[in-house]
Amino acid sequence: MAETFEPSTAHSINPYDAKQPLLFIKDDQRASHIRRLTIFTEAASGELRSELIDFLARLHALEMFVIHWRALDWLQLGEAGLQAFVRLFSLPSLMELQVLASVNFPLCLLQYFMGRKLCISATTTVTSVMPLLPADIQARKCGALRDMMVGGARNIQEIRTFIEWQTDRAQVCLRFINCLRCNISWRDSGAKPQEVMRVLGSFLLKIGSIVDCLEEFHFLDWQNSMFITLGPSPET
């Protein structure tokens, strides 16, 4: 069993799978060295059990964190659950965060992420009211977000609104981005070509007003088989 706790192993846990008790042993200090972790579950519940919160509290060396939990509703998290995620987002070691599936991910939580690469395709929201904790702005300058991928027409629109409504906070979170990727799928609700391009255009104007230097932009529209890449001209 010791092999499963090699720090370089990419661990995946299901909080509702009783066959994975090892990760929840309270005196297992090896968990604190895990570098890559995915939380994946198809369970219909989004409850953060106390065993999971205790396990998350023992993680101190995460470099990559993936959340794929469709039933997880961020606005329904209790204080202990929210603080557990905020602590992980703030880890100096965390370089990559992927929020692939969940509901109502509050964009204001991005102010706690100190890593360099973000992928967000879960349902986001900008209108939530969260009990926010102080964020270390100085630490962000040392580990600024550089590469961001946004999946879905709604999320593009939500981030645009985030920049428009909470400009100061959005600038703190996003100002150092130099590579931006936007993916649109035919599964997205209301992803009509003309509407998507209108939203995308206004989104680029908004994010261009707060970032220091956007060097690359990639846009992929699965519905129309369209792919656009903009970046610095190759040296001649």
* Inside any domain, residue 141: no
Do 70 and 152 lie in one domain? The reply is: no
More confident residue, 53 or 189: 53
If you average pLDDT over residues 50-76, what whole number do you get? 93
11-36 mean pLDDT: 76
Give this prediction's pTM. 0.88
Q: pLDDT digits over 152-163, tens only?
A: 889 999 999 999
| pLDDT number for residue 144 | 85
Looking at the structure, do residues 65 and 29 belong to the same domain, yes or no? yes
Residues with Cβ within 8 Å of residue 106, at least 6 apart in sequence: 74, 75, 124, 125, 126, 128, 130
Same structural domain, 8 and 42: yes
Please report whether residue 140 resides in a domain. no
Q: What is the mean pLDDT of residues 54-61?
A: 90
Letter string b/e over residues 141-155, b meaning 16 or more CB atoms within 10 A of that residue's CB: eebbbebbbbbbbbb
Confidence band, pLDDT 50/70/90 cuts, at residue 50:
confident
187 pLDDT band (50/70/90 cuts)? low
| Residues 159, 223 share a domain | yes
List pLDDT tens digits, range 173-185. 899 999 999 998 7
Percent of the chain with pLDDT over 90: 52
In a domain, 113, yes or no: yes
Q: Does the residue 138 lie in any domain?
A: no
What are 68-98's pLDDT values in tens digits? 999 999 999 988 999 999 999 999 999 999 9
Which of 111-120, 125-134, 215-224 has the weakest average pLDDT? 125-134
Transcribe the chain into DSSP letters: -GGGG-TTSEEEE-TT-TT-GGGG-TT-GGGGG--EEEEEE--S-----HHHHHHHHT----SEEEEEEEEEEGGG--HHHHHHHHHHHT-TT--EEEEEEEE-EEGGGGGG--SSEEEE-S-EESS----PPP--HHHHHHS---EEEEESHHHHHHHHHHHHHSHHHHHHHHTT--EEEEEE-TTSTT--HHHHHHHHHHHHHHHHTT-S---EEEEEETTTTEEEEE-PPPP-
β-pairing, 105-106 vs 124-125, is parallel
| pLDDT for the residue 188 | 62
More confident residue, 80 or 143: 80
The answer on 181 and 127 residing in a single domain is no
Whether 172 maps to a domain, the answer reads yes
Which one of 132, 166, 190 terminates a domain? 132
pLDDT at 198: 83
Report pLDDT for 236.
37
Domain extent, residue 2, equals 1-132
